[in-house]
Structure 1
Amino acid sequence: MDVSEIIVPGDTPGTEWRLPVLRFKGHDPKAPKTYIQAALHAGELPGTALLHFLCERLRQAESQGAIAGDITIVPQANPIGAAQSHFGELQGRFDLDSRVNFNRDFPLISIADRSTLIEDLDDYPATNRLKRQLLHMALGADLVLDLHCDDESLQYAYIDEAFWPEAADLAAALDMEAVLLSDGESSAFEEAVGFAWKYEIPGERRPRLPGKLSVTVELRGQRDVDPALARKDADGLWQFLSARGIVRSEMTTAAAFSGPAVPLDNVEIIRAPEGGAVLFHRNIGERVAAGELLATIIIRPGQPDGSIDLHAPQDGLILTRTSDRLVRRRGDLMKIACGGASKASRRAGALEN
């Protein structure tokens, strides 16, 4: 294993950020190249734990000559966000300087222009330099996995329709309970990777990308940083790498993915109509029918008509739930994967900011 660091100079004198990069050299130049990163939202650590245990296996495989394709791993992809603390609370999702989500505003370029990402880096602030270097590394691979987690959540993934159903092997290996088929219209990291491949010839969009994969994996919830879960997920990812011919292994084939795979338009996002204390009646992983009671928000405690009940707009599987119990007006409470399209309007791109 080769360990190096990318140094990202800060925007004020005397500051800099260090980004560790772990590389495993494969022996077969024809095997797929893989890039995996975690903690782009710095407080989302299930992926960091997974990669810690996966690297144990990769080091052993490397010593046995069992790595076919090059593997690049960035286990903590956002040192800038990891250093952001406000009143004792980590603020790892949004850049406190620009107020932009760390997983938005990645450059949308053609793969032919990959080298331009790291040209004239001094012209950009630190966060943009970090994003450009992460994207540059990822575009040197064939398979790109961006490991995140949600708040309280099942295991699921965002996968561009251009990679589906080929990517069902990843969903099966990681025992995902749902897949959300994205439209590739945002500037999030995994969609910026897909954009570069789709528009290899500028102006000409490739609708299918066989042999390629760029995916956001949601490894349950923020508090699911657990050694048993991390080892289980590392085993699943190892199985995926084995099935794709990147590592040599005798592991058995994963069962077929059996969960729902629905477009983003079929995701109902339950939002709070007013702020208050939320009481959930249903939990993640439960299937609900249209009209069932999901949550009660106490908006005026102790007063007549001081609460609001929220009901399921259609049948579906509860994927996520907020861990907050004091919610703001229009705050997201739940995501429900459904068989039909939501009646709520949705702009193209990501589900949330």
Structure 2
Amino acid sequence: MDVSEIIIAGDTPGIEWRLPVFRFKGRTAAAPKTYIQAALHANELPGTALAHFLLQRLQQAEKDGAILGDITVVPQANPIGTAQSHFGELQGRFDLGSRTNFNRDFPLITLGDRDRLIDDLDRYSATDRLKRQLLHMALGADLMLDLHCDDEALQYAYIDDAFWPEAGDLASALDMEAVFLSDGESSAFEEAVAYAWKYETGQKKTRLPGRLSVTVELRGTRDVYPELARKDAVGVFRFLVARGVITGDEETIAPFAGIIAPLDNIEMIRAPEAGAILFHRDIGESVKAGDLLATILTRPGQADGALEVRAPQDGLIVTRVSTRLARRRSDLMKIACAAPSSAGRKPGSLEA
């Protein structure tokens, strides 16, 4: 195992960030190359815990001569966000300097322009230098796993339909309960990787066999426990064995049996007004159209001070916010459904 650091100079004097990178050299040139990163949103730590236990397994596999394809792991991909605390609360989702989501605005390039990402880096801000170096590493791989988590959530993933159903092996290996099929229309990290592959030859490819770029949502922000992290690390290791990155006893991965929903079929449940949130339903529950999901206390104690929020159609509650105070139109839940939402959706990500 080779351990190195990428040093990112700050935008003000006396500041720099260090990004540890773990690399394992494969012994077979034809084997798939893998890139795994965690905590691009710095306050989402289940992936960092997974990476910790996965690295232990990879070190043993290296000693056993079992690593066939190159593997790169970045357990904490955002040291800039990790340093951002506001009144004691870690602010790891948005860059406080630019107000940009750390998982948006990645360069959309063709694979042939990969090396241009790190040309003349000094002309970019620290955050953009971080993004460019992460994307440069990922584009050297065939398989890319970007490990995130939601607020309160089941285990699920965003997977571009160019990789489906082949990516069902990862969904099954990680015991995911849902897969959201994305449209590749945002500038998030996993979609920037897929974009480069799709336009590798100039003309857009709609299928990318043998490759995978995925955002894995490892439950919720508070689901950082050793037993869960070990289980998830075993799942990723099984996936790597199945894909021929690591040699080992090939355990058959069962077909994915969870919910599969295009992003158009995700009901984004939002608060009609500001107020205290009283949830009536939890993640993992199936609901019917018209079921009461939450009550918003807009004017506590007054006769008209409570608003009901009901399910627009049948579906599975995949996520729920952990806060109990809603702003007007703030997100409350994501419900995966069999039919498209009547609310409509612009191409791209579900959330900012």
TM-score (norm: length of structure 1): 0.99
Write out aligned runs for 1:68-107 (5 A): 68-107=68-107
Letter in 2 for 1:56: Q
1:90 deviates by 0.4
3-state secondary structure, aligned to 2:170: helix
Write out aligned runs for 1:266-285 (5 A): 266-285=265-284
Letter in 2 for 1:118: I
In structure 1, distance between residues paired with 2:87 and 2:176: 35
- The answer as to 2:324 corresponding to 1:319 is no
1:201 deviates by 2.1
In structure 2, distance between residues paired with 1:108 and 1:252: 37
Aligned match of 2:34? 34
1:251 deviates by 5.3
Aligned match of 2:264? 265
- The answer as to 2:161 corresponding to 1:161 is yes
1:250 deviates by 1.8
Aligned match of 1:240? 239
Q: Do the aligned residues in 1 keep the contact of 2:242 with 2:251 (CA within 8 Å)? A: no
Letter in 1 for 2:191: E
Unpaired runs of 5+ residues, structure 1, are none
Letter in 2 for 1:84: Q
Aligned match of 2:200? 200
Identity value in percent: 73
Q: Over aligned residues, Cα RMSD in angstroms?
A: 0.6
Aligned match of 2:249? 250
In structure 1, distance between residues paired with 2:255 and 2:224: 26
- The answer as to 2:181 corresponding to 1:144 is no
In structure 1, distance between residues paired with 2:275 and 2:162: 41
In structure 1, distance between residues paired with 2:318 and 2:91: 24
Q: Do the aligned residues in 2 keep the contact of 1:239 with 1:253 (CA within 8 Å)? A: no
Aligned match of 1:114? 114
3-state secondary structure, aligned to 2:239: helix
Give aligned pairs, total: 352
Letter in 2 for 1:109: I
Letter in 1 for 2:86: H
Stretch deviating more after TM superposition (244-253 or 116-125): 244-253
Superposed CA deviations along residues 43-100 of structure 1, whole A, max 9, x for unmatched, are 0000000010011010001011000000000000000000000011000000000000
Moved over 2 A (4+): none
Aligned match of 1:309? 308
Aligned match of 1:331? 330
3-state secondary structure, aligned to 2:230: helix
In structure 1, distance between residues paired with 2:275 and 2:99: 25
Stretch deviating more after TM superposition (245-254 or 99-108): 245-254
3-state secondary structure, aligned to 2:193: helix
In structure 1, distance between residues paired with 2:155 and 2:21: 26
1:255 deviates by 2.2
Aligned match of 1:229? 228
